[in-house]
A and B are shown apart, each in its own frame.
Chain A
């Protein structure tokens, strides 16, 4: 099986000018919007997007049509659409490519979504570091206004829409949808307690939809070929295609758009060329930094959001697959991931703010030759204060999902590398009069092993 290019088709077919208006118009651009302007808002949502089964590509995989339906019908109150272009999840680089390579496709998707949710205002919150991406989006938006695809009375349909490209300024947490809204309001990007969900009280306390770049970029194809057609691709409730960012120790790192249902093996070995230098795979991270890791024994697991989540206690998350060969120290990767979360924690919730720093320090010494025998248990003990029980799906003591994400690398170490770690640092010392700690047969905190997940 190869790639199935839908959202990446234009930028792959025309790498030299895929982002220009000329190329966009020459390859069917804005035809879907013409069609959508003939459709009623509910028709777009129910007969196209719902039928397509499209789920959010930002990480959580929530059905797009369902999210839109939460806004309700009171269109007298202002409502907003925010495109999440803040892509900051480590090793995810698909939105970056879609923005630079096909900005008009995103703009067209935004207008289609805006028609369906009946908003007059949309914002694209683009990661501050994407300077070229912001240039290209600015230009696309300007051209769309000039061509009458944005502004007032779009192509005589009576629909009005303004789009503002808004640059972030370096904060992973602004990628969380409520952090994004805080940031867009000119505040620190602190996440907010839910409920109320953004659909009820979002931007400026008005009903708001937040959707990812890839989610919105898929809409023109859905309108063009029909929701049912898109829904016929993929597997189970994971319909259509997704763009997977494959990086690390593979021969051909890059973005691959594939039909869901393909296996990790086909993606990593057939498309990305397998492990570089002919070495062996040690482990891989299947869905961005926040997802628990998987092992070589999981290579035949299908790229199906529900299977990966329910049967393997991980997630396809942001679609980033990091591949590590046998030379890699899993403790070093865990340390760097936790260092990232510690740096990006906004500081609002105590378990995340304090826990991330403690965990980073413990992992630093473990990965830099100063580990102690009791460190693995200490990691679990601290993690348990962030995610009580440490069982999937992760319980949450924090406002947003950054907290549980910190624990993913640690639970992964416990699941797959405990023996290796005990071998390296020895067993915790037994002090006089104390029961010997139950290591390695049982950690201080029970971690549930999904059936068949052991390597």
Chain B
């Protein structure tokens, strides 16, 4: 989808912050992903238009960064760290358990990620980029279910505070 009117205004503000428009590509892609839940081809067109490059160039940038999803992933991105501290603290087991548990749930996308810089609380999980520490498969599932039921407030798919008016992320 194209940017909504308020998001288009925000997008213009973001472009203004930089000495050169192209620098706004990453923040604009975050904005688009928070709005739509993934980076749509239309969004890439529009971002290109806003900063003066082609949609293909935007795709080239977008595809480099792991946070950007170029297909629909549902409403919750669950990132489980398996890097070298989580590795010896139950990270891989946590990842496998959650992957199996949510394999057929279209709303929950479980992915393996690199070190999340919270190794003192390993194993670590993020849900839409909010941290959850010292997880077990059971506590992690309970947390994810609370997001699903709305008991916990979720961020956007790009980690922006979509629920807070006036936020530009």
Q: Spell out A's residues near B (CB within 8 Å).
A: 78, 87-93, 95-96, 121, 127-132, 134-135, 138, 164, 166-172, 183-189, 204, 245-249, 253-255, 285, 289, 320, 322, 324, 328, 332-333, 336-337, 340, 343-344, 346
Contact = CB atoms under 8 A, between A and B. Distances in A.
Contact of B82 (A169, A255, A336): A336
A169 B126 CA distance: 15
Given A128-B65, A186-B51, A188-B60, A134 B169 contact: yes
Nearest to A164: B17
Contacts of B18: 164
B73 interface: no
B120 to A, nearest CB: 4
A168 B158 CA distance: 11
Contacts of B129: 128-131
Given A183-B26, A204-B19, A340-B83, A169 B122 contact: no
Interface residues of B, number: 50
14 contacts: A90-B85, A91-B84, A93-B117, A93-B118, A96-B118, A186-B26, A188-B60, A188-B64, A189-B65, A253-B121, A322-B85, A322-B119, A333-B87, A333-B88
Given A131-B129, A170-B66, A247-B85, A184 B23 contact: yes
Interface of B: 17-20, 22-27, 29-30, 51, 53, 60-61, 64-68, 79, 82-85, 87-89, 113-122, 126, 128-131, 155, 158-161, 169
Mostly, the A contact residues are mixed
Contact of B114 (A167, A245, A343): A343
Contact of B131 (A132, A138, A328, A336): A132
A346 B155 CA distance: 29
B30 A169 contact: yes
A19 to B, nearest CB: 15
B19 A185 contact: no
Nearest to B26: A169
Given A168-B65, A285-B84, 9 more contacts: A88-B117, A90-B114, A129-B116, A129-B159, A138-B169, A169-B30, A188-B61, A253-B122, A324-B88
A131 B155 contact: yes
Given A129-B129, A168-B26, A183-B26, A78 B19 contact: yes
B65 A170 contact: yes
A92 B119 CA distance: 8
**Max chain A CB contacts within 10 Å: which of B64, B115, B117, B161?**
B117
B119 A186 contact: no
Contacts of A183: 26
B120 A170 contact: no
A156 B69 CA distance: 46
A169 B67 contact: yes
A186 B19 CA distance: 12
Nearest to B120: A253
Contact of A131 (B24, B82, B114, B159): B159
Given A131-B129, A134-B169, A91 B119 contact: yes
A337 B84 contact: yes
A128 B30 CA distance: 9
B137 to A, nearest CB: 20
Nearest to B19: A204
Given A91-B83, A129-B159, A171-B65, A121 B19 contact: yes
Contacts of A249: 88
Contact of B120 (A127, A171, A254): A254
Given A167-B169, A186-B24, A128 B84 contact: no
Nearest to B85: A247
Nearest to B68: A169
A216 B51 CA distance: 31
A422 B84 CA distance: 24
A227 to B, nearest CB: 30
Given A131-B129, A132-B131, A188-B64, A248 B88 contact: yes
B55 to A, nearest CB: 14
B114 A344 contact: yes
B116 to A, nearest CB: 6
B27 A166 contact: yes
A294 to B, nearest CB: 15
Contacts of B65: 128, 168-171, 189
Contacts of A337: 84
Given A90-B84, A204-B19, A167 B27 contact: yes
A92 B84 CA distance: 11
B84 A336 contact: yes
Contacts of B113: 129
Which are the 10 A-B pairs with shortest beta-carbon distances? A170-B66, A169-B65, A131-B159, A186-B22, A186-B25, A170-B67, A131-B129, A247-B119, A253-B120, A90-B115
A328 B88 CA distance: 8
Nearest to A206: B19
A167 B155 CA distance: 15
A167 B87 contact: no
A78 B120 CA distance: 41
Contacts of A188: 60-61, 64
